[in-house]
Amino acid sequence: MTPYENGGKVTARIVETLGRAIVAGEYADRPLPIEADISEQFKASRSVTREAIKMLTAKGLIASRPRLGTRVAPERDWNFLDPDVLRWLLSRGLSLDLLAEFTAFRSAIEPQAASLAIRRNDPEAITRIGEAAERMTTRGISQEDALQADIDFHVAILLASGNRFMIQCRDLVETALRFSIRLTNRQKGVATADSDAHRTIANAIAAGDAERAVSASRDLLNEAAALIEQARRAG
């Protein structure tokens, strides 16, 4: 279920439908429907339609210009830090270039987040990191549950950092990891990620060993980057 598939809220349904269509290129060679046509298509009031248009504008997908009306914005103007935009981009066809850029972004913040988690030393936050790592090794765990545990592990590190900018990345990271982890596992020929590598990071954070935590985090991300590059060369 996507964030917008919740009881058929009309504004959310318009955003989800039009957002996906824009990112998929359906309006690359034809104009975006005018407000009246959108209202008619979704049986929505003008105020509801305007709210949806505002949300799509905030995501950088559309722009309004005097005498030009509302149009689809160039892809370079899209908000790639918006989890919905990233989800739509990855759903339209797995972009290895985009995943490579995302992994480079993670490499810039996640090892530092591990170091900050140690410095902050919030026992509950550190426990959640360890619990997520342990869930990955649960006997008989399904692939989907193992994937969620893997995602929870990386998000828990961001939260444990206490850094408000890193914490703001949690939805973005969770969205992209659903695609990235599946790809890297497939490249390695395994059903689930390397739980030992994750446990090494968790143990280092719990032990207050920043050097080992940062090094292990970088190793994990470097491996992911190499697997994505491997898939790019093969594709």
* Residue 114 binned pLDDT confidence (cut-offs 50, 70, 90): very high
What was the pLDDT predicted at 140?
82
pLDDT at site 67: 66
Token pair in block for residue 68:
């030009």
Number of domains in the chain: 2
Query: 22 with 136, same domain?
Result: no
User: Is the predicted pLDDT of residue 50 greater than 60, yes or no?
Assistant: yes
Distance of CA 214 to the CA centre of its chain: 22
Q: Which of 34, 59, 169, 63 is nearest to 113 (CA)?
A: 169
Tell me the longest C-alpha to C-alpha distance in the chain: 63
- CATH number of the domain that 55 lies in? 1.10.10.10
Tell me: do 73 and 100 sit in the same domain. Answer: no
Q: Are residues 200 and 226 in the same domain?
A: yes
Using alpha carbons, list the distances in angstroms from residue 81 to 17, 98, 103, 202, 203.
Answer: 19, 12, 14, 27, 30
Q: How crowded is residue 8: how many other Cβ atoms within 10 Å of its Cβ? A: 8
Residue 20 in domain? yes
Q: Domain of 60?
A: 10-77
Grade residue 192 by pLDDT with cuts at 50, 70 and 90. confident
Nearest to 158 by CA among 211, 213, 210, 112: 112
Indicate the range of 27-31, 141-145, 147-151 predicted with least confidence: 27-31
Considering the domain architecture, whether residues 103 and 73 belong to the same structural domain is answered as: no
Least confident of 120-129, 140-149, 197-206: 140-149
Q: What is the CATH number of the domain that holds 155?
A: 1.20.120.530
205 lies in the same domain as 147:
yes
31 shares its domain with 144: no
Can you give the pLDDT at residue 6? Answer: 39
